[in-house]
Amino acid sequence: MSVLSLERTLYHCEPEFKKYINEEYSMKKLCRVYSIIITCSIMVLFTEVSIADDVIIPSKMSKEEIAGKIFERQTMVKTERDGGSTTLDVLTNQSSDKKLETGMFKAGPGRFEITDGYGVDEFMYFLEGSVKLTSKDGSSQTINAGESVVIQKEWSGIWETEGYTKIYVIYSSDTTTE
């Protein structure tokens, strides 16, 4: 709770407290005082929520999350691919215009042909595993754990992997705010 929020709330509640604190206490009056305290506490909570709506908190992934604990988050999305492979995806941040996303992704084995362009600009840092990217001109490169790659949205080619875990940053200029 911020000091400012507490001061605002107590300022609004102070006249009620003074009225009862300066009088002789009876059971009925004590109940009224407790009622005022509870009401003021609720006001503090709602004040915090309204202030928190204006606060933007940076997204952080801890060492433990990067080591795999992030996939225990309730927001994790699990997808079964054709062929039995599984992916786990945790979105850690999305810009207000929905054009920039960050997160962590884990995938099992797979091979994908991308013929109509990748669709988004993506930076990837591989924590585990590797991917082999073969561009439409036949040139290929392998990105291993500890390495990064940027794929432009126009890229076409073949994506092959035995499995990997990556941190990603995706930019999509085509995305619009709903």
Number of domains in the chain: 2
Do 161 and 131 contact (CB within 8 A), yes or no?
yes
CA distance 89 to 102: 10
Mean pLDDT of the chain: 80
Give 37-92 pLDDT, tens digit per residue: 555 444 444 444 444 567 888 889 999 999 999 999 999 999 998 878 899 999 99
Find the domain containing 162 and state its range.
63-171
Please list, in sequence order, all residues whose beta carbon lies within 8 angstroms of the beta carbon of residue 39, skipping any fewer than 6 positions away. Answer: 13
Q: In degrees rounded to 5, what are phi and psi of residue 81?
A: -90, 160
For the chain, the 3-state helix, strand and coil shares in percent, each to the nearest 5, are 30, 35, 35
- Domain identity same for 102 and 25: no
pLDDT at 174: 82
pLDDT at 6: 39
- Domain identity same for 39 and 103: no
- Domain identity same for 86 and 155: yes
Is the pLDDT assigned to residue 18 strictly greater than 50? Answer: no
- Domain identity same for 14 and 84: no
pLDDT at 57: 86
> Is 177 part of a structural domain of the chain?
no
Beta pairing, strands 110-114 & 100-107: unpaired
CATH code assigned at 68: 2.60.120.10
pLDDT at 50: 42
- Domain identity same for 160 and 113: yes
